[in-house]
Copies of this chain bind each other. A is one copy, B any other.
Amino acid sequence: METQNYRIIKINREAASEEEDKIIVEYPLTLFINGVEFITLLCTPRSLKELVVGFLYSEGIISSKDDLEDIRINEASGRADVYTGNKDLYYYQGDRLNAKRTVTTACGRQKSIIYNVVDLLGTESDKIHSCVDYTADEILDLANRFNKKSELFITTGGVHSCALCDKKDFIIFEEDIGRHNALDKILGGALLRDIRLEDKMIITSGRISSEMIIKVVKSKIPVLVSRSAPTNVAVDMARKYNLRLMGFARGNRMNVYSGAPEQSLKPPVTQDGG
């Protein structure tokens, strides 16, 4: 399954309604090379054999189909086993791979985040308990201003932007070629300036996958708003940790995936206590 159905709340300036929405699945595929665990790819569960072969080729672990002895993919367990003819090749690559790593425009630091996920799950203390509430109008007002604010995006089209806000205005605004970098610049700036985060909101231009949720929950920020889409894992984690998660905040509309604003436009779902 590449998508999953969720009940979400669609809000515009006039009304709010609960609707069924299809959300993209974030699927972890753990790759074992010659029996040795190598990497976990978070991907869309389609063409997994092609993904594994293409990844091995891009990584320089194989240079042709002939380097492959066997590929077995167990979609149910999320495990891919690859056997290469040249065992040394892998170990040689393994050494190279472990010698240095580079994080580029979006992430790469997930080798640690996978641990953070494990750490986070089931840790009650990580649940967000915030008394602050943002109304739908406050969120939409800030999101609209946010979407017009990125000069680097306007001039180059090549960056993501991220902002830390209170109920009325922007406190920090950052832009970066990587959506993770932009968020880290916000968190670093808040840390350096001793800004209290428990009552703030993050707005990002980027898509929301699990590692974005982890950063925000870890920082105890109660509201996360994106111009783009979340993954199913992001929605599940947001609901589990009481993070208010909104997506597709554009113009005068947004989707609420977790924690509808109490002071919102009196959506039917809150009226009938749903």
Which B-chain residue is minimally distant from A53 (CB atoms)? Answer: B188
Q: Complex: how many Å from CA A100 to CA B183?
A: 23
Is A123 an interface residue when CB atoms closer than 8 A count as contact? no
Q: Are A54 and B191 in contact, with the CB atoms below 8 A?
A: yes
Beta-carbon contacts under 8 Å, A165-193 to B: 174-178, 180-181, 183-189, 191-192
Q: If A41-B181, A51-B184, A53-B188 touch, does A58 touch B109 (CB 8 Å cutoff)?
A: yes
Interface centre among A54, A152, A219 (most CB of B within 10 A): A54
Q: Complex: how many Å from CA A228 to CA B46?
A: 24
Partner of A215, one of B37, B58, B103: B58
Q: Mark A100-111, 1 if CB is under 8 A from B, else 0.
A: 111111111111
Q: Are A228 and B158 in contact, with the CB atoms below 8 A?
A: yes
A115 neighbours in B (Cβ, 8 Å): 60, 96, 99-100
Please name 14 further chain A to chain B contacts, defined as beta carbons within 8 Å, in addition to the given A24-B159, A57-B187, A104-B110, sorted by A numbering: A22-B156, A24-B156, A41-B181, A43-B178, A50-B192, A59-B112, A60-B115, A96-B112, A97-B111, A101-B114, A105-B209, A108-B109, A158-B207, A177-B231
Of all A-B residue pairs in the complex, the 5 with the closest CB atoms, nearest first, are A101-B111, A54-B188, A106-B106, A54-B184, A53-B188
